[in-house]
Amino acid sequence: MKSIPAVSIGSSPGVSDRSSRQSAAALCNALGTIGFAYLVDHGISVALIEDAFAASRDFHASPQGLKETLAINEFHRGYMGLATSTIVTSSVARVTKPNLSESLMIMHELAPDDPDRLLRKPLQGPNQWPGWLPRLQPTIEAYVSALEKLARRLVGLIAIGLDMPEGALDSYFRKPTTFLRLLRYPPHPAEGPDGQFGSAPHTDYGIITILAQDQRGGLQVRPRNSGWIDAPPLPASLVLNVGDMLERWTNGRFVSTPHRVVNRSTGDRYSIPYFFDTAMDEVIECLPSCTDAAHPPRHGPVRYGDYLMDRLERNYAYRKEWREVQPAV
């Protein structure tokens, strides 16, 4: 049976030394076969990860009325209650039941005078923080800062593994699109209906996802030519997986693998996925090192922001509700 490999990426700030090249090779092998990897020696302290989980538990323990004051806004930031997202774009399963989870969505921060924010471009707006939990914002911002450093290192390793200069992809992330979700999954009902999941089978939209999961378990992945396999928590590790845009970018050399969550434990499951993607206006097309005469590009160019907004419009109930209340122009 296939299993998810553990990859040590080390703590060296560069990616040109011999050990980093070995890490890049191991990482790209995992992303090209399973599409997932456990990251060990990733450089983020266990204490910081635990602080982020504590902040998430504090938020989800808050009164429902308070959480709802942060209802997700047009910029995809804020609170999403139970059963408000549905997988309708995935080809891996037919799903009609909304996901059995709730979350606080936090995206990249923008200065008040940022031109994209002033123009109210898609997803370029303010985050919503729970003022009744004053420690949550600095805790999560510290965690996001550490994750961004890790993500940028991973992008460098990926470039090396794809036979490109270490900084070849950096310009695509000059203004990255990032998402962090503080997720809670209640226990799955013993008599849950068909098509009910904590997170239904799906692939991620973007470049890479870095996941911290608690000890409850429940994550499963489905590699190519395989059935579902468990991705149990590995102490002190983070889980990395490929998104749709990275699969397109690499011409299928890396695989965006379907995954799902069912919380079969008797208590709440918490996880914190972080999605690190390109700037909204970047065009994703087959990388030169991933195509040759025998392997022509499988996909045409696509603007990341267009692809992303299409997925959000289809999968989140609030998008439809928000459009219905907008004034006619």
CA distance 59 to 186: 14
Q: What angle do CA 210, 183, 279 make, to 5 degrees?
A: 45
Name the nearest CA neighbour of 72 among 146, 123, 8: 123
Q: Which pLDDT score is estimated for 196? A: 78
Which residues on adjacent β-strands are paired with residue 181?
Answer: 105
Residue-wise pLDDT tens digits, 170-186 = 999 999 999 999 999 99
DSSP one-letter code for 16: -
Give the residue-averaged pLDDT of 278-294.
Answer: 96
The percentage of the chain sitting over the pLDDT mark of 90, rounded to a whole number, equals 77
Supply the pLDDT for residue 165. 92
pLDDT for 327 equals 42
Q: How confident is the model at residue 318, as a pLDDT? A: 74
Q: Could you tell me the pLDDT band of residue 316, with boundaries at 50, 70 and 90?
A: confident
CA pair distance 220, 243, nearest whole angstrom: 16
Mean pLDDT of 29-51: 96
- Average pLDDT on 59-64 reads 98
Structure tokens at 324: 């219905």
Per-residue CA distances from 51 to 47, 112, 237 (Å): 6, 28, 15
Which pLDDT belongs to residue 85? 60
What was the pLDDT predicted at 328? 41
Mean pLDDT of 68-72: 97
pLDDT given at position 225: 86
pLDDT at 305: 96
* Predicted pLDDT of residue 91: 46
pLDDT at 324 (0 to 100): 55
- Check residue 191 and give its pLDDT: 72
What band does 93 get if pLDDT is binned at 50, 70 and 90?
A: very low
pLDDT at 51: 98
Is residue 277 very low, low, confident or very high in pLDDT (cuts 50, 70, 90)?
A: very high
Local structure of 295: helix, strand or coil? strand
Q: What is the pLDDT of residue 164?
A: 95
As a whole number of angstroms, the distance between CA 256 and CA 291 comes to 18
3-class secondary structure, 46: helix
Say yes or no to pLDDT of 88 above 60: no
Domains of the chain, first to last: 6-324 (2.60.120.330)
pTM summary value:
0.93
pLDDT at 67: 98
144 CB-near residues (< 8 Å, 6+ apart) = 106, 178, 180, 274
Would you say residue 72 has pLDDT above 90?
yes
The angle at the Cα of 328, spanning 325 to 329, to the nearest 5 degrees, equals: 140
Contacts of 103 (CB under 8 A, 6+ apart): 79, 80, 181, 182, 183, 184
SS3 label, residue 241 = strand
pLDDT band at residue 95 under the 50/70/90 scheme: very low
What is the secondary structure of 77-113 as a DSSP string?
-EEE-TT-B---S-SS----SPPS-EEEEEE----TT
If you average pLDDT over every residue of the chain, what do you get? 90
Band of residue 323 on the pLDDT scale cut at 50, 70, 90: low
Distance CA 174, CA 241 (A): 21
C-alpha pair distances (Å), 54 with each of 57, 71, 135, 165 = 5, 21, 10, 39
Average pLDDT over residues 279-305: 96
